[in-house]
Amino acid sequence: MQWSKWLQWGGFATLALVMAATRCGHLGSASVLPDASWAVFFAAGFYFGAERRWLLPLLLLEAIAVDFVAIQYYGVSNYCVTLAYWFIVPAYSVLWLGGVWLRRSIRHQATDLLRLAASLLASVTACFLLTQGSFYWLGSRVAEPSLSGWWVNFTSWYGRFLLVTCAYVAVAAAVHAVVVRLSAVRVGLRTH
């Protein structure tokens, strides 16, 4: 197998492991890292967008399986598991598509950071609207849902989910930049 294939499979395995290791706490705590799932779906779309027919469903199945195991065997609350839970499928797919769009629009220029910010902001916002909106309106956890109540809930949680996702994507972008730089140095050494 070629080195690039090993690197690709290693990258996917790393994303899957990061999601499995962090999925038990949305915003984290003193002992648990925040959930990296949203960043994982975004990064997976960026790196593996062409493999969407099987990698996207595989990551979705992993997320559902981790939730099941955490609730069933590790005492994690099932509070978020309602009819609205299934909205993670389109919500996480939107994150994947945000990564795909970013990959297709990369120009290897400084303005790529603006593209990254725009793509991440748009896809995280759409994902949050789908997950939080469906939970608020369909989850049967709010006694008397109202537009003003939804807005208060939205503004209470949106920034935190955006911040966590952006932090993980920033780490991934830094690692990406280092790998690209080292690859360029390696190629430069081979040509001399």
Q: What does the pLDDT look like over 58-116, one tens digit per residue?
A: 999 999 999 999 888 887 877 778 889 999 999 999 999 999 999 999 888 888 899 99
Give 158-187 pLDDT, tens digit per residue.
999 999 999 999 999 998 888 878 876 655
Task: Report which of residues 137 and 106 the model is more confident about.
Answer: 137
Cβ atoms of 52 and 96 closer than 8 Å: yes
Q: What average pLDDT does the segment 135-150 reach?
A: 91
Output Rg (C-alpha) for the chain, integer angstroms.
18
Measure the CA dihedral 105/108/114/117, to 10°: 70
What is the DSSP code (8-state) at residue 106?
Answer: -
24 within 8 A of 32, measured Cβ to Cβ: yes
d(CA 181, CA 106): 16
Residue 187 has a pLDDT of 56
Mean pLDDT, the chain, rounded, equals 88
Residue 121: pLDDT band with limits 50, 70, 90: very high
pLDDT at 20: 93
Condensed to tens digits (0 to 9), the pLDDT of residues 11-66 reads 889 999 999 999 876 555 556 789 999 999 999 999 998 877 889 999 999 999 99
Strand boundaries in the chain, DSSP class E: none
Distances (CA, A) of 47 to 42, 131, 154, 160: 9, 24, 30, 25
- Short-list 31, 35, 5, CA closest to 18: 35
How long a stretch of residues is the chain? 192
Nearest in space to 14 (alpha carbons), one of 185, 166, 175, 160: 175
Q: Where are the beta strands (DSSP E) in 77-168?
A: none
Write down the pLDDT at residue 30: 53
Q: Given this model, what pLDDT does residue 68 score?
A: 92
